[in-house]
A and B are shown apart, each in its own frame.
Chain A
């Protein structure tokens, strides 16, 4: 059973890539639950955030303590602009319009990044040599530990805010019954703006982690958008907890399928990304309402 020795490492890898994916999927799920729109540019926003940090920390060579708050401000500014330019003008109209406008936005972000930074692969982790730990046959860098721990902390915080704070109640009320919530004095515009900014900041943080852990390329956003869609579909569209679970599940399936040595049935590593697409198709075919949700979906 030599091929099972690699199992703990695969689980660790799944935890890392699942964390990054969860950061993307939560923002997407929040927005879908609240406004019923799919933000097509979500993956591109992740990558844009990472490139912004690249610009601040490497081109302007600002220290991270200065660059990070600037990045947060830039993220909030971006979120508010995008929300009011590409999403809110199309409310109460055909959902196609919002899909088209965010699709256009995603291409605008991609091609602008390609024009400004070039199409070559770059990384945020320049001059960084993270310590490598080993326990029980699992190799993990200090950076990856930081990724997993900070993500779990952030996700728990988001879950607490959404579940127990007055703001979270306002969000859930709006998602459940818009007219009712607005009649009872819920400031819809403000709630939507804060939720979108929150989702964008989570995505940007996820993008920054990608930039540190792997590498950056202007056209890699679409694959994150699709994977986040897949994670969200697994958990049921619009459910935050479901999106988090779906992210880790998808990462687990991907890593196990590619990593385990199945002899002649081994799957080549090049097909790793194709898994998310197959998961989407299977989910749409058999359980379009999500793995755990009962009852009818809206047609």
Chain B
């Protein structure tokens, strides 16, 4: 039972990360490699505020979201002016910079030791349900709320403009839309959700360290969005469940964790490559030029 709850919690948190990435990458074709950095920043904000400063949930949860969104405001100040290759390199540099800071800013993050003993919010202790189940309910509520907001956002003019700037930027500019602003909004919104997911994962694991937020974790999020079809809301939900539950089958093979980790990465990378190769004719139409 607790195993099922654990799998479900992790899947739902991944769903928030993947669906928000779908907003910026699937709709806008913005390959933001710093997306997981926003997730990491959300997690660390929660970890630091909840342990050292003993802030209540109602304070550190919104603050985690806010700090992640602010971080991506910095990213977009540099990155939204850039074309695809440069955008990738710029966000890659941000992602690497955040990892370097998490490892080396020891007075704040405790470096590679990580932050242990992150307390769960006290309102989750109830006489009726087990703590695990109570946390699952919190995660379900946050996930449903996030998905509802994202589903709404997918149908707003912002989403259409975002899709258009990925396909033919000149058309959008000629209609008087500010593409810089559109990209900035998309990055900030998606990072805010990633920050919320980061806050949840820090509370759930009660221990975080820099290694869980490296660039190689990005492959899961990328393969989810590519498999679920970029920009496709329900497809990404289905792909999240499929890809999160798939490696659980590997657990029954009784492999040591030093093998399980790389094997999982390999599986996701092969799926990512396979889908990109198979669907190369329809995935991301080539940028049209006039």
A-side residues, CB < 8 A to B, are 36, 38, 85-86, 89-90, 92-97, 99-101, 103-105, 107-108, 110-112, 114-115, 118-119, 219, 222-223, 226, 229-230, 233, 237, 268, 270-271, 273-274, 276-278, 280-281, 284-285, 288, 298-299
Determine which of B90, B215, B284 lies in contact with A280 in the assembled complex, contact meaning CB atoms within 8 Å: B90
User: Smallest CB–CB gap between A295 and chain B, Å?
Assistant: 16
B-side residues, CB < 8 A to A, are 29, 31, 78-79, 82-86, 88-90, 92-94, 96-97, 100-101, 103-104, 215-216, 218-219, 222, 226, 258-259, 261-263, 265-266, 268-270, 272-273, 276-277, 280-281, 283-287
Determine which of A89, A230, A233, A277 lies in contact with B277 in the assembled complex, contact meaning CB atoms within 8 Å: A89
Q: Are B104 and A95 in contact (CB under 8 A)?
A: no
Which A residues are CB-close (under 8 A) to B226?
Answer: 100
Sample of 10 A–B contacts (CB below 8 Å): A86-B273, A94-B29, A104-B272, A108-B273, A110-B262, A111-B216, A119-B258, A223-B96, A274-B96, A284-B93
User: Smallest CB–CB gap between A98 and chain B, Å?
Assistant: 9
Q: Are B100 and A274 in contact (CB under 8 A)?
A: yes
Given contacts A38-B88, A96-B31, A118-B258, contact A281 B285 (CB under 8 A): no
Q: Are B265 and A284 in contact (CB under 8 A)?
A: no
Complex Cα distance, B90 from A233, in Å, reads 10
User: Smallest CB–CB gap between A256 and chain B, Å?
Assistant: 18
Given contacts A95-B85, A226-B96, contact A115 B262 (CB under 8 A): yes
User: Smallest CB–CB gap between A237 and chain B, Å?
Assistant: 7
Chain A interface main SS type: helix
Given contacts A38-B88, A111-B262, contact A90 B280 (CB under 8 A): yes
Q: Are A97 and B280 in contact (CB under 8 A)?
A: yes
Complex Cα distance, B31 from A99, in Å, reads 9
Determine which of A36, A107, A285 lies in contact with B265 in the assembled complex, contact meaning CB atoms within 8 Å: A107
Which B residues are CB-close (under 8 A) to A268?
Answer: 104
Q: Are B219 and A103 in contact (CB under 8 A)?
A: yes
Q: Are A274 and B101 in contact (CB under 8 A)?
A: yes
Complex Cα distance, B141 from A50, in Å, reads 49
Which B residues are CB-close (under 8 A) to A89?
Answer: 277, 280
Q: Are A288 and B222 in contact (CB under 8 A)?
A: no
User: Smallest CB–CB gap between B261 and chain A, Å?
Assistant: 8
Which A residues are CB-close (under 8 A) to B222?
Answer: 100, 103-104
User: Smallest CB–CB gap between B17 and chain A, Å?
Assistant: 17
Q: Are A298 and B83 in contact (CB under 8 A)?
A: yes
Beyond contacts A111-B216, A118-B258: 20 other A-B pairs, Cβ-Cβ < 8 A, are A36-B85, A90-B276, A93-B286, A94-B283, A96-B84, A100-B31, A101-B277, A103-B218, A104-B276, A107-B219, A115-B266, A226-B92, A230-B93, A277-B96, A277-B97, A281-B78, A281-B90, A281-B97, A284-B78, A284-B79
Which A residues are CB-close (under 8 A) to B88?
Answer: 38, 99
Given contacts A94-B287, A284-B86, contact A273 B273 (CB under 8 A): no
Which B residues are CB-close (under 8 A) to A280?
Answer: 89-90, 92-93
Closest B residue by C-beta to A94: B284
Which B residues are CB-close (under 8 A) to A99?
Answer: 31, 84-85, 88
Top 4 A-B pairs ranked by shortest CB distance? A107-B269, A104-B273, A111-B262, A280-B93
Closest A residue by C-beta to B219: A107
Determine which of B89, B94, B100 lies in contact with A271 in the assembled complex, contact meaning CB atoms within 8 Å: B100
Determine which of B103, B277, B286 lies in contact with A94 in the assembled complex, contact meaning CB atoms within 8 Å: B286
Which A residues are CB-close (under 8 A) to B280?
Answer: 89-90, 93, 97
Which A residues are CB-close (under 8 A) to B100?
Answer: 270-271, 273-274, 277
Q: Are A100 and B272 in contact (CB under 8 A)?
A: yes
Q: Are A104 and B269 in contact (CB under 8 A)?
A: yes
Which A residues are CB-close (under 8 A) to B85?
Answer: 36, 38, 95, 99, 237
User: Smallest CB–CB gap between B216 and chain A, Å?
Assistant: 6
Q: Are B93 and A92 in contact (CB under 8 A)?
A: no
Q: Are A111 and B286 in contact (CB under 8 A)?
A: no
User: Smallest CB–CB gap between A182 and chain B, Å?
Assistant: 19
Which A residues are CB-close (under 8 A) to B258?
Answer: 118-119
Q: Are B263 and A111 in contact (CB under 8 A)?
A: yes
Given contacts A97-B283, A298-B83, contact A110 B265 (CB under 8 A): yes
Closest A residue by C-beta to B279: A97
Closest B residue by C-beta to A285: B78
